[in-house]
Each structure stands twice: as structure tokens, then as C-alpha cells.
């Protein structure tokens, strides 16, 4: 182990970070669906790491943004991908004309300065990347920067949030059991129809009738999940189609462009989805 807070000679100190860019200036609109705000606040009070589980486009990112605003904390978001290495999260030495300079990665910035760090779709990252978060998720609340020979003690306000889409998981791409068991989990799903229509109205500028129609279309597409579609239309897709339709595009064209074409490349599936959709309104 390294001495906590040590700063090895020959490398620049991490320096002050301007966190203002990571603060949410206005309240992000979030319509609560259940007790997720209370659960998150309780987890935050104890600094228990949180895992948001649910399909894509159902409100996880918006929820974290809302909670960061509510708690008055800056939010640093990282979209995980399969080439992501531990250095992309923790930081690396960079060669500059002045010599070798250490740059904190986004996770290290959040740990040092007390931000909420949101690792979106963490399962996309390789498992050896995921384990860098382990010492942060238990009583140690430490981030070892091996390259820098430094052990960073987390700021009192540091909080770790990850998202996870159980629908996509396969045996090769899943969170390790030892990672999963460190988190408080909050389940997300598409909101109930009346709520989802309210969200579509607000976010797409759609009227009540259009929003209700789009939500009915979503229900049809979600019935095809597992029958050729990996996932049905998300709330995000309904908002996209709603924006087009509210902006003057015909409903049929808006649904094609916002839902049917993005969701599948398969011509037969597109026909089946279009037929199912036209049967439902
Ligand atoms: P995810 O992170 O789950 O993929 P997002 O949070 O980006 O999804 O949600 C997609 C969009 O759906 C958001 O930008 C927002 O417009 C809308 N949305 C979904 N659920 C809600 C909700 N409960 N309250 C407000 N907006 C929501």
C-alpha cells in the first residue's frame, strides 16, 4: 500500500479543479416513478454506492442528473465502452514539452473533489477495469493510483453511481458477483402509461392525445421484445417521435423515423413492427 495522500516527486500535483462545469445550473425535470428519490437520498447519506438497473432510455441518466442537482453536488459522467482501461478512469502520465505530467482521470477527479461519479453502462468495460472501483465501494473509500504511487482518500462527498442494463447481459459480459454485491440497486423500467404520457408531453412538447398515442405504440413494440426485438421503444424514442410529430411531421413518418428505423435493421421486423403499430391506433 502507498501512504495516503502522498505526492511523489517528479510529477505535477493534481492541482485545483474547476468543478463549476460539472454543476447543474437548473433543475433537470424528473418525474418520480416510485420511491427512488428516497432510496437514493438514504444511500447518499451513508455514501453507499448505487446501481441503477433498467433498459436503455428509461430515465436513469435523467434521474442521476436530478439527484445531483437536488443534493447540490457536481456530477461527472463517464460512458463506459469495451476499450476503456483503468487509466481512462483513474488517469495517466502525459508527455508534454515541460516533461511528464500526471492527469487525473474523471473518476479520480470525482474522488478528490467530492463529485458524484456516474459510470454509465459499466458492464461494457473490461472486468479488470471494473475492479478499480472496488476499494472505493467499501469502508476504505480509497482509490489507489499505482502509476503515481498514490493512495487517494475519497472526499467526504464523493459518491459512486453506476448503470446496468440487465437485458443485454450475457455470461461473458456481466458484472462480477464481487462487484454487484457492493451496490444498493434501484430498479428502473418504462413508467406506467399515464406517467409516461405526462413525460412525453413535457419533454416533446406533445399534446395529450399525441402523447397517449405514442405510449400505446410503445406498448405494442414492447410486446415484440424477445420476438425479434431486443428491446421495445424506450421513453427516449417516444420523445424523439413526439418532437417530430409536434413539429409538423406526420405521425406515421415521425414514428418511422423516431422508432421503427432506429430500433431494427431487419426489413421483415420493420414490416412486422409497422403492422403492429398501425393496428394499435
Ligand atoms: P437512460 O439513462 O435510462 O438510458 P435517460 O435518462 O437518458 O435514459 O432517459 C431518456 C429520456 O427520457 C430523458 O432524456 C428524459 O427526457 C426522458 N425520461 C425518462 N424517464 C423520465 C422521468 N421519470 N422523468 C423525466 N424524464 C424522463
Measured from the CA of 29, which atom of ligand 1 is nearest?
A: 25
Cβ atoms of 52 and 63 closer than 8 Å: yes
In the 3-class helix/strand/coil scheme, how is 86-154 assigned residue by residue? HHHHHEEEEEECCEEEEEECHHHHHHHHCCEEEEECHHHCCHHHHHHHHHHCCCCCEEEEHHHCEEEEC
> Is any atom of ligand 1 closer than 6 Å to the C-beta of 274?
no
- Taking only the tens of pLDDT, the chain with its 281 residues reads 334 443 443 344 445 678 889 999 999 999 999 999 999 999 999 999 999 999 999 999 999 999 999 999 999 999 999 899 999 999 999 999 989 999 999 999 999 999 999 999 988 888 778 889 999 998 999 999 999 999 999 999 999 999 998 876 565 677 888 889 999 999 999 999 999 999 999 999 999 999 999 999 999 999 988 888 888 999 999 999 999 999 999 999 999 999 999 999 999 999 999 998 888 76
Query: Ligand 1 centroid to 60 CA: how many Å?
Result: 6
> Is any atom of ligand 1 closer than 6 Å to the C-beta of 56?
yes
Q: Which of 55, 58, 65 gets mutated to test ligand 1 (max ligand atoms within 8 A of its CB)?
A: 58
Cβ atoms of 105 and 140 closer than 8 Å: no
Q: What are the start-end ranges of the H helices in the chain?
A: 36-45, 60-71, 86-90, 106-113, 127-130, 177-180, 193-204, 208-223, 235-246, 251-255, 261-263, 267-279
**What contacts 13, CB < 8 A, 6 or more positions away?**
7
Measured from the CA of 64, which atom of ligand 1 is nearest?
A: 6
Biggest distance spanned by C-alpha atoms of the chain: 70
Sign of CA dihedral 76, 80, 85, 88: negative
Amino acid at each position: 500500500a502507498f501512504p495516503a495522500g502522498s505526492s511523489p516527486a517528479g510529477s505535477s500535483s493534481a492541482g485545483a479543479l474547476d468543478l463549476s462545469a460539472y454543476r447543474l445550473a437548473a433543475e433537470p425535470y424528473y418525474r418520480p416513478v416510485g420511491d427512488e428519490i428516497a432510496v437514493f437520498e438514504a444511500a447518499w447519506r451513508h455514501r453507499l454506492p448505487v446501481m441503477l438497473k433498467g433498459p436503455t432510455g428509461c430515465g436513469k441518466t435523467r434521474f442521476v442528473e436530478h439527484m445531483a442537482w437536488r443534493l447540490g453536488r457536481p456530477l461527472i459522467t463517464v460512458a463506459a465502452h469495451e476499450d476503456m482501461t483503468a487509466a481512462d478512469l483513474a488517469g495517466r502520465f502525459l508527455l508534454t514539452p515541460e516533461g511528464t505530467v500526471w492527469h487525473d482521470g474523471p473518476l479520480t477527479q470525482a474522488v478528490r473533489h467530492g463529485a458524484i461519479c456516474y459510470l454509465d453502462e459499466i458492464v461494457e468495460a473490461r472486468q479488470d477495469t471494473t475492479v478499480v472501483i472496488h476499494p472505493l465501494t467499501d469502508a476504505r473509500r480509497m482509490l489507489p493510483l499505482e502509476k503515481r504511487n498514490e493512495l487517494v482518500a475519497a472526499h467526504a462527498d464523493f459518491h459512486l453511481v453506476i448503470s446496468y442494463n440487465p437485458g443485454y447481459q450475457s455470461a461473458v459480459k456481466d458484472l462480477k458477483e464481487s462487484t454487484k454485491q457492493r451496490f444498493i440497486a434501484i430498479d428502473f423500467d418504462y413508467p406506467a402509461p399515464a406517467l409516461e404520457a405526462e413525460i412525453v408531453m413535457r419533454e416533446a412538447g406533445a399534446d395529450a392525445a399525441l402523447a397517449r398515442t405514442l405510449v400505446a405504440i410503445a406498448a405494442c413494440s414492447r410486446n415484440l421484445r424477445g420476438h425479434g426485438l431486443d428491446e421495445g421503444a424506450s421513453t427516449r424514442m417516444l420523445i424523439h417521435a413526439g418532437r417530430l410529430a409536434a413539429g409538423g411531421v406526420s405521425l406515421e413518418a415521425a414514428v418511422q423515423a423516431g422508432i421503427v428505423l432506429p430500433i431494427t435493421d431487419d426489413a421483415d421486423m420493420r414490416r412486422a413492427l409497422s403492422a403492429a403499430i398501425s393496428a394499435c391506433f
